Amino acid sequence: MKTPLALLAFGLGLSLFAGCATAPSGAGCASGAVRLETGYDSAPDSACRRGDAGAAHFTLVIAPEAEPINPSPWYAFTLDGAPGRYRVELNYAAAAHRYAPWIRSGAGDWRRLGADHVAVADDGRRAVLELTLGGGPLQVAAQPLYDLDDYAALEQRWPGPWRTIGLSVEGRALRALVLEPMADGAGWALFLGRQHPPEIPGAWALDAFVDEALRLREAGLLASGLIVIPVLNPDGVDAGYWRLNENRVDLNRDWRGRSQPEVRAVFALLDALSLAPGDLELMVDFHATVAERLYLPQAEELPAQVSARLDAWLAAMEADGVFQTLEPMRTNPRLRFSAKAVFTDDWRTVAVTWEAGDETSPDQVRDHARRAAQQWALSGG
Ligand SMILES: [Zn+2]
């Protein structure tokens, strides 16, 4: 919801930068007894300025890692210092305001900042957040942070074996959970996450889908082998990028060319496991966009038996009510470079781009993913 800037009766001027006492700086800026911090894990090193309207006013420049780029204007920062009310203006260099802010006090839970504390300019190029600082630091972000420490915690939560399948451009380990099929003749399922760093609802969906698949395997209801690569772009996640990897390449346009180490690592793993088309029953690539959506292969792109399996899964999900908001679309992508397109074309399997919704509640995102995993198992997994 947008509140006109003029309605924010906060008593501070909005003229930007005029008379600024400080030059733009990375890693945050201080104003009197309060400090705005940037440049930490998943929080980009956005240029920060003290506003000219007094000690309670900051401006952050929200800029992408490269242009042109898809408009996923990610932001994250922490405000810390003297209790009081503060105003932080997000100044967008290459996109309009998209993500409604979340806040977290200290180590508490993330919650949405009330819409009446967010004022967006008519052209979307500025958003002013009205923030109240209590006794401790206040984190603010475009989505609840899900950073590399959270992925390390996943490795504790999910039983191994985990393996390193390659290194990112910056040398971070690319990690995969690999669990063999539990019956002769059972196939494999591949799950990919975080090609695009800001798409955190997609991470919740992967988390819930895999949790449920593990439970179903333990219960003897799913025999498939599982390959889970929860974070394919760790460099972008750590840097707080909008879209790209450290080489400024969109990984989800690289599955045909395989120019990037992150994508090559996936194929090297499939080779190491001696998997060939026919062995892979399911590939789900988790993302997020404005609304919940399931991009699926078209019937004619798949062998009849595979298409029938997809139909059975879709029918089961529909009967379970999942499609009241999660819209299935059997699409033929214009560019056949994505993970979905390449696994459809080359592996002739059920290859899905799962788009969680930017604004969908975390509980609903997780519920849909859990039920989709159950219906996959029940429909023949
Ligand atoms: Zn995406």
pLDDT tens, 30-82? 887 899 999 999 999 999 988 766 668 999 999 999 999 999 999 999 999 99
Going along the chain from its start, the domains and CATH numbers come out as 5-141 (2.60.40), 148-378 (3.40.630.10)
Q: What's residue 27's pLDDT?
A: 77
Distance 287 CA to ligand 1 centre (A): 4
E strands, 3-82, in order = 29-31, 34-37, 47-50, 57-62, 76-81
Distance 377 CA to ligand 1 centre (A): 26
Ligand 1 center from residue 286 Cα (angstroms): 8
pLDDT of residue 76: 98
Q: Which two tokens mark 217?
A: 């395997």
Residue 17 is predicted with a pLDDT of: 32
Crossing angle of helices 200-218 and 362-378, rounded to 10°: 40
- By the CB criterion, residues less than 5 angstroms from ion ligand 1 are 196, 199, 287
Location of structure tokens 């967008």 = 92
Q: Which two structure tokens, joined as six digits, stand for 229?
A: 């690569």
Q: Residue 53 has which token pair?
A: 């309207």
Whole-angstrom distance, CA of residue 172 vs CA of residue 275: 25
Q: How far is the CA of 33 from the centre of ligand 1 (A)?
A: 39
Run of H or E including 363: helix 362-378
Report which residue type is found at 358.
Answer: D
Report how far ligand 1's centroid is from the alpha carbon of 230 (Å).
14
Q: What order do you get walking across the sheet with 118-120 strand by strand?
A: 47-50, 57-62, 84-92, 126-133, 118-120
Q: What is the pLDDT of residue 14?
A: 35
CA of 45 to the centre of ligand 1 (A): 22
Cα 288 to middle of ligand 1, angstroms: 6
Q: Look at the pTM and tell me if it is higher than 0.85.
A: yes
How many whole angstroms from 175 Cα to the centroid of ligand 1?
19
Contacts of 80 (CB under 8 A, 6+ apart): 34, 35, 37, 133, 136, 137, 138
Distance 28 CA to ligand 1 centre (A): 28
| Low-confidence spans in the chain with pLDDT less than 70 | 1-26, 52-55, 381
What spacing in Å lies between the alpha carbon of 246 and ligand 1's midpoint?
16
